[in-house]
Each structure stands twice: as structure tokens, then as C-alpha cells.
Amino acid sequence: MSEKSFLDEAEVPENVAIESKLPLNAIDIESQKDMESGRYHALRSLHKWFAARPTPAVRLAVLASVYPGEIDSDELLRLMKIGPKELDTGIADYVEKKFTEKKGSGTLDDHYGYPNPNTQSPTDTEIEKLQSKLREAWGGELPTILDPTAGRGIIPFEAIRYGIPAKANELNPVPALILKAGLEYAPEVGSLDPDIREWRDKILETARENIEPYYPTEEPGRQILNSAMTYIIQCDSCGGEIPLVSKWWLNKESEGGDAVKPVYEDGTVEYTHVRVENEPGYDPEEAPLRGRSAECPHCDVVNEKEDIRQKIHDGEFEFSIYGVNYETENGDRAYRAGGEIDQKGMQKAAERVESDFDLLTFLSEPIDVSSRTNDPTSYGMDEWRDIFTPRQLVVQYEFLSAFNEEKSDILAKYDSDTAEAMLTVLTLAASRSMNYNTRLNQWRDLFGYGSHLFTDNNLSLKRMSVDNNLAAPRRGYRKHSDHVIDSYEKLVSYLPESEGADLANIDAADLSSKWEAESVDAAIVDPPYYSSIMYAELSDVFYVTQKEYLEDIHPDIYSSSLTDKDNEAVANPYRFEEIADDEQSKDDLADQHYESKMEEIFAEVQKLLSSGGVMTVMFTHREMDAWDTLTSALISAGFTITATHPIKTEMSDRIGVQGKASADSSIFLVARKQDTKSSERTLWEDVQDGIRQAARNQAEEILDSGYNISKTDTAIAAYGPTLQKYAEAFPVVNKKGEEIRPREALSQAREAVTGVLAERFLKTEGLEQLDSLTRWYILSWLIYENDTIPYDEARQLGVAANVDIDNIKRTTKIWGKSKKDIVLKDHNDRVQDIVLLKSDSADNPSSRKYPVNPTDTRFTYTIDTVHTAIHVYEREGPRSAWDWLSDRDLKSNQEFEATVTALLEVLPSDSDMRETLVNLVSGETGDYLDINLDHIDMSGEERQTELGDHQ
């Protein structure tokens, strides 16, 4: 295969399949199946990395980005291994039908009637047929696919799985090692079984012998599997011992389970084991820790969270094993309380760490993270060795030592590629084992063992953590190494006999230093997730561990002290704190960095693409800033958008369940390389209506098609055609000649889609006559279907409703902030208590805290009127509500009626506010209001029939 692709644009397909209609519903269903536990790609099982795409979505991007012209739905799905083999036509309809049917007692594969596509590779015949089609369309040679930010490499792996040449780059060394194992060693070296397991066993036996003294047991024949560990601090008031435990469960079961019952005496704490079902009156949920503060069990004084954090930072604590999971000689597993024997093991390890010169410098690289990832240095963990207890550190060191004992023999016995492959896979096993044995791993009482390190994609301290005996079977090295080796062997079995991918481990903004210009024909790009994940900061813990194992084997990968954070394409405001000023905030600087970095990456992709080459970008984000930044970078780099598709690629809890607010769709932006940029500017006013119409058309098409997507995702799906219209018109300016950024187009799209959703799902008339705040409140409930909404989306919805939600927050208290979300407030949070207002003996409620006065006769916003009516009904009953309504002549108030009926349509059926509204429009209050409810399904509602019912 030639390194340089053809240059004649005539030899590039005029269209590729991803620029045409695709069977998205069937692929979405398969993607959701793919994300269920145990069904995902073997590369995901090889080692921890962040933000994987489901295989069906990846296969679609790979195949459809190079397949010429349109592709028949059945042909595409068959090629993707979706659907039963015996089915010749109607595969998409079949998959959608099975999706709607109730699943039986068998497996998911039994229900659908075909195996997990992840486990199925194309046949030799299918590969030959595909390659023939591709060569014919791409100038006689196979098109080459590039993934510039490959992560663990599922995109390039699926390319070579289908016999399509691939180049893959990844800046971060941790996924770069996964790439090397899965995309170089797996296809070129092949199987490592059974030899690798024999070497693994030697490593395990050596390590087990060396760490056994640190896991002493009082009962012969018992083996410690894992232990629940906490911190003991001294109370500031009485000096007594406080275990930082929030609940005493070890292993919760349906009828009870194992727990620890603490004994507090003379300022000390000791632990006893109980079966909770045999201990009536004992509640394991009662423990000293409350949030991050702790109540002393000896004197009841609360020790505040900042004081506790400072004690841990300064080392003023003891590690304490409070529960132990062990295995008997017969293989039975049970639990006991931690005791003196466990503390002896911990103390022995601490003494070893202090006296062993080699251990003094082991994993001593500095922790370099921002508060974005819950900085461990705030708890005194300044070096990566500090995230381990002394016993955990000794265990890590002994497994490394055992590995090094076998390394020279492995290198001597095999050819260099095989030896390096074996050492690489064994290192991934050790690194994976470490992922389950640090101070940052949470004890999980529902399972009776600890979590992995990154359950929340951060590095937060866990006050109730786990100490795993990696020499033991349950969560130990053998289990994790089997997992890694099995995954590697699966990867080998999935691939045809062919070359691996061409790999690079460099800054994606410098790809042309590695590969020639116009040497690839399609790029599939899954960019870093903007501000969602700080990849380099999180992965340092793996990097420093792997470097100890493989620095001499892969010096090019492990050439630096830590991972490269300067060249990483993420928006991390905390990296700009020292240079931010009044003119540019740290958020602004972070956005600029991300946009600049992505523009550099896209520009490099543009250089490497053949003339007229295709780029498919997968992007998932709810924040409009992220879309604005990414699109600006893409267009500035010389691309134009030719097609877009919404694809479900994120974990969702709603297969078959509509109506959740979570966004789980990505947009596939399909772009073509432009050799020349247009200098002609387009006036914003000339394209504004077209952009809005494109968004409306997309929303209506989705709703008409029955595509299983939430209202939230419908709005995000409209971003695709909106950005396509914007890119076609770029550069866009207003009448003053000022640049119009993609954000403005997206804002127009959201407004247009909001209108479509209101038309489709709200039967109440007169919504457009309501004040802007009331309309925004109703639309928020309509689209998000709960009271919690991402702030950026709520703000954009406010723009669509013509209200600045920041300006009205303080005066209306209609919403409150919760991290990056807003929470919609109801009458309980906004209306002053009418009973207290009427009482001469009670203090009047605060008008600042509760801005709505129920004794007023006129209200600024109709939502205030409705909230007050609900409040009066609940506080004083139907009779007073009847009087209150009639005094304000609300019987003939059209805005009040429209707001009430709209809220009845959009509020969840189990909402307290809705329940009171139902009563308000029923009985004699309902007779008074005489609101037309014919368009609302009130069947099954318990309703007031007369005033006496609720007095």
C-alpha cells in the first residue's frame, strides 16, 4: 500500500454513505445494548481509559465515511453484524420491533436472535467484497483512515478489523500503551497464550510470598481478601478517637447483612462484627461522619470538615481497618471486624516504608492536578506514593519487583516483539490491579468490596476506602490479569491476518511531522470532551506506575516525568488562574486554549487529508460554548460541513423509556476538506431565517420518524443541520461587519426547536400571550421533565423565551443554583406564609427570601399568581382558596387559565405541585374557575369533589 494517497479529486467519491440517509434507529438500539455491562469492546476491558464510544457508532463512522455513494440499509447493517444471518431484508424494522418487545428470561442476544456484534468480525469474503468496492471508488487503492486523538483506539481497531488501513495518534502515554497492545501487538504478534499466564503465575507466587507477612491472620487457613479502611482522628474537644465512617455496613443484603458495631470506651474505639438481622435496634447507618463533618462519639461535639481536612493533610490520623473480608480453607467467604492483628500488618508495612531505601523514592513523582479533579494535595498527598497506605505501597513495590525478576528471562526467551508484547500486557495487568487498591477507592457495602479508582472521574479522598490483598483471589492480581489477558486474546481473535495500525504518540497539532501531506483519505475524530474530563491529570496515577515497569522497554512513551498537560486539548479553567485578569477570566482563557488547540489539530488533519477528503467528527456536549468552540475551530481549519447525524453514544438508563432529561446523543458532523476558503462574507440577516428553518425541519423530522430520543436530545440533534447551514454561509457578519459566531446560530436553533416542541406537546392555547418568565418556567418543565436543568441550557431557553434568567434570579427566586445546574423552585420556596402574615403574634416571613406576597391582589408574573393559589390551597384549604381566587377575579383570567393547564400538561404525575393543581381545578374551586380541561388526560386522578372534602 502506498504511503501517499492520490491527489486527483476526481478519484475521491463525490459522496460517501455517511453523507446520505442511514438506519439510525437500529444503530442506536445496538449502541445502547453495547453499553451494557460485559457487552462492550475488548479494548475497553484491556485497561481503564475515559469516554469510550459504543462499537456500533464507531463502525458506522468508519464504514460510512469511506463507502462510496449511498448504501442499502440492510447491506450496511449486515456489514456491521447487526441482525440475524438468515434475514435478507427488513433488518432495521426487525431490530426496532425486538426493541419494543418485552425481553424474556434469556440473554439479550437470545431476545434479539443474533450475537453481540462486538464479538463478530467480517468474514474474509465480506472483507474482499468491501475492499473491492473501496478500491474502485478511491482511485485503485484502499482509503486510509486517520484518528488524530485516538484514546484507546476503538476507531482505528475497527478500521483494521475491516481490512482498512489506519493511522492512529494519541498524545497521552497511558492510552498510547493500550494502542500499542491492541493495534500493534494483537495483529502482528498475535496470541501470547499460554506462556503469558505461566509468567503471570511466577510473578504472582513471588509477590504473594513477599507480601504475606503484611496480611497476618489469627485463624490458621484464612486468607484476607480485602479490608474496609478508614481514618481515626482525635476530637478537638475531648481527645477521643473518631473513626471517619458514615455507615458501618460491610456487606448489605436484602434481609440484613454484615456490619461493624463500634464500641466506644475511655476515648477509644474498637470494632465488633454483627449480622444486622440478628441485632434488633442496631442501625449501621448511624455513624460519626455527617457529610464531611464528624460528631465525636465520646463527647458529641461536632468536628468541622475544614478541621478534619487539615488533620488529614498534616498526617494527624491513623489508618484503621474496621472490617475484613476473608476466605477459609474451604473457599467460603465471610466477614469479621478489624482488630489488633490487622493494625500489626499495617504497622509492619509502615516500618518497611520508612526503612527500605528503594521504597523511599518509589512513585515519588509530584501530584500535579487542579481543583477540577479534587486535588489530593489538599489532603497532604503531594506525591503519587501518598495515595497509597503503607501496606498498599509495599504491595505495589513487591509486584513490580516480582515482575522485574522475570523480565530478563522473558526478553531472553522470545523475539523482541513477542517479549515486548508480553511485558506490555503484564504491565497493563499490574496497572489495572493498582486501579483497585488506593486510598481513593470507595468501600461499596452493596457488594462487600471496593470500587475502582475512577467511579466519578476525579481524585477525591475516600474516608471509607478499601485495602485489597492483591495476592488473594477475589479482587486480586490473578483476577485482573486474567481480565486483561482474556481481552488481549479476544482482540487477536477478532483481527484478520494483516498489518497493525500505524501509530504515533505525539501532539495532534504536529501530525505532519510524522506523516506526509495528503496521505490519508478519511479522518474520524472523537475530540476530547472540552471541560468534562481532565485526561492528563487523571491518568498520571497510571503513568507513574507503568513507567516503573516499562521505561526501559518503551523509552519513547515514558520519556517525561508526568503526562503532557500543556498540549492537551481540554478547557481547564484552573490551569489559567494565575494569568486571568479583569479583561479575561480563567474560563475565557480555557475556552481560547481549547479552540486554538482544536483548530491546530483540525488544520493538521486538513494537511494530511487527500484533496476532497472526508472528516467525520463525533461530539457530545450539552454546553453551547463547547459546540461554538469546536465548530469555530473546524471551520477556521478549512472544512465545510456536508452532513450531520444524531447518534446515541452515551450511557443511558432509558432503553424503551422516553422522557428523561439526560442528553445521551452525539452529533456526527461530516465535513469535507476545502482547498480554498471563501472570502465573501454573508450577512447574518440573510441566513437567520434559513438557520431557524433548518433546525425546525430537523426537529419535526425526528418527531415524525418516531426516533427514540428525548426532548433535550431533539434540541441537540438540531445543532447538526444548523451548523451545516452556518458553515455554508461562513464567514457570517452582522450589518456592522462584526463576526457572528456559531453560538448565535445555535441559539436560534434552540429557540426554533423549543417552538416545535411546544407546538407538538403542549395543547394549551395562549402560551405566547404569557409573560416571558412564566413561559420560560413552563417550557423548562416541558423539555427537561424535572426540576434540575444544566445552567447553560436553562439560560439559552431563557433567551428563546425572551428572559434573562440571571437578571430575574434574585428578585423572583424562581430558580436556584446547584453546581452547574439550576433547580426550578416551586411555591414552597417562593411564597410567603399566608398564615404567618395574618397572625399578629408571628414574625412576618422574609420578603427577600420569599418574594411573593399572597395578600397582594395583583402579581408581576402569572406564575406568581399560580404558585400563590397553590400555597393558599395547601395552607388554608379549599374554602380560603375559593375566596382568594374570587377576590382576584381569576375566573375570567386567560393567562391564569393557560398557565394552570400548561403546568398540568408538563408537571410529572407524582409532583406535589401538580397534585394540588388537580384539586384546585376540581370541586367547587374548579366550578368557580371553570377551566377547560378537555385537552388534558385527567383519568386516574384523585380529585376534590366539594369543599368539605379537604376541610
Q: What are the structural domains of the chain?
A: 9-192+504-539+559-677 (3.40.50.150), 195-497+540-558 (no CATH), 826-950 (no CATH)
pLDDT value at residue 644: 86
What sign has the CA pseudo-torsion 450, 451, 452, 454? negative
Mean local confidence (pLDDT), 300-325: 96
CA–CA gap between residue 188 and residue 497 (Å, rounded): 8
pLDDT value at residue 650: 60
Among 324-338, 442-456, 927-941, the range scoring the smallest mean pLDDT is: 927-941
Going from the C-alpha of 685 to that of each of 304, 680, 682, 733, 756, the distances in angstroms are: 58, 15, 9, 9, 22
For residue 767, give the DSSP letter. G
CA–CA gap between residue 827 and residue 821 (Å, rounded): 20
Mean local confidence (pLDDT), 558-583: 88
CA–CA gap between residue 112 and residue 87 (Å, rounded): 12
pLDDT of residue 898 exceeding 90: yes
Cα end-to-end span (Å), the chain: 85
CA–CA gap between residue 403 and residue 427 (Å, rounded): 9
Among 2-6, 189-193, 364-368, 847-851, the range scoring the smallest mean pLDDT is: 2-6
With vertex at residue 620, the alpha carbon angle to CA 655 and CA 643, rounded to the nearest 5 degrees, is 100
Mean local confidence (pLDDT), 764-780: 92
568 and 535 Cβ atoms separated by less than 8 Å: yes
Among 102-116, 522-536, 645-659, 818-832, the range scoring the smallest mean pLDDT is: 645-659
Strand blocks (E) in 798-839: 815-818, 821-824
With vertex at residue 61, the alpha carbon angle to CA 29 and CA 51, rounded to the nearest 5 degrees, is 70
Mean local confidence (pLDDT), 22-29: 91
774 and 747 Cβ atoms separated by less than 8 Å: no
CA–CA gap between residue 166 and residue 181 (Å, rounded): 15
CA–CA gap between residue 250 and residue 447 (Å, rounded): 8
Mean local confidence (pLDDT), 761-772: 90
pLDDT value at residue 141: 94
pLDDT value at residue 944: 55
Q: How many CB atoms lie within 10 A of CB 656?
A: 12
Among 112-116, 196-200, 658-662, 748-752, the range scoring the smallest mean pLDDT is: 658-662
CA–CA gap between residue 938 and residue 880 (Å, rounded): 24
Element (DSSP H or E) covering residue 123: none
pLDDT value at residue 660: 32
CA–CA gap between residue 610 and residue 11 (Å, rounded): 10
pLDDT value at residue 623: 75
Name the residue with higher pLDDT: 50 or 62.
Answer: 62
DSSP reduced 3-state for 350: helix
Among 318-322, 530-534, 899-903, the range scoring the smallest mean pLDDT is: 530-534
The pLDDT tens digits of the residues spanning 486-495 come to 999 999 999 9
pLDDT of residue 7 exceeding 50: no
Mean local confidence (pLDDT), 665-694: 86
Going from the C-alpha of 332 to that of each of 58, 272, 480, the distances in angstroms are: 43, 20, 21
pLDDT value at residue 456: 79
pLDDT of residue 465 exceeding 90: yes
pLDDT of residue 447 exceeding 70: yes
pLDDT of residue 949 exceeding 60: no
Going from the C-alpha of 868 to that of each of 656, 657, 813, 880, the distances in angstroms are: 38, 34, 14, 12
Element (DSSP H or E) covering residue 231: strand 223-234
pLDDT of residue 1 exceeding 70: no
The pLDDT tens digits of the residues spanning 249-288 come to 999 998 899 999 999 999 999 999 999 999 999 999 999 9
The pLDDT tens digits of the residues spanning 580-627 come to 887 888 888 988 888 899 899 999 999 999 988 999 999 877 777 788
pLDDT of residue 10 exceeding 80: no
Determine if the peptide bond prior to 156 is cis (ω within 30°). no
Close Cβ partners of 197 (under 8 Å, ≥ 6 residues apart): 482, 485
In which band, very low, low, confident or very high, does the pLDDT at 876 lie, cut at 50, 70 and 90? very high
Whose CA is closest to 431, among 463, 384, 464?
384
pLDDT value at residue 609: 95
In which band, very low, low, confident or very high, does the pLDDT at 656 lie, cut at 50, 70 and 90? very low
Average pLDDT, the chain: 90
Among 194-198, 340-344, 590-594, the range scoring the smallest mean pLDDT is: 590-594
pLDDT value at residue 784: 87
pLDDT value at residue 833: 92
CA–CA gap between residue 217 and residue 398 (Å, rounded): 20
Element (DSSP H or E) covering residue 616: strand 609-619
Whose CA is closest to 60, among 84, 79, 32, 36?
79
442 and 198 Cβ atoms separated by less than 8 Å: no
pLDDT of residue 320 exceeding 50: yes
CA–CA gap between residue 309 and residue 375 (Å, rounded): 12
Percent of the chain past pLDDT 70, that is, above it, reads 94
With vertex at residue 132, the alpha carbon angle to CA 129 and CA 137, rounded to the nearest 5 degrees, is 130
For residue 824, give the DSSP letter. E
pLDDT value at residue 654: 30
Mark 849-886 as b/e (b = at least 16 C-beta within 10 Å): ebbbbbeeeebebbbbbbbbbbbbbbbbebeebbebbe
The pLDDT tens digits of the residues spanning 797-821 come to 888 888 999 999 999 999 998 777 8
pLDDT of residue 951 exceeding 60: no
pLDDT of residue 655 exceeding 70: no
The pLDDT tens digits of the residues spanning 466-484 come to 999 999 987 899 999 999 9
Name the residue with higher pLDDT: 206 or 715.
Answer: 206
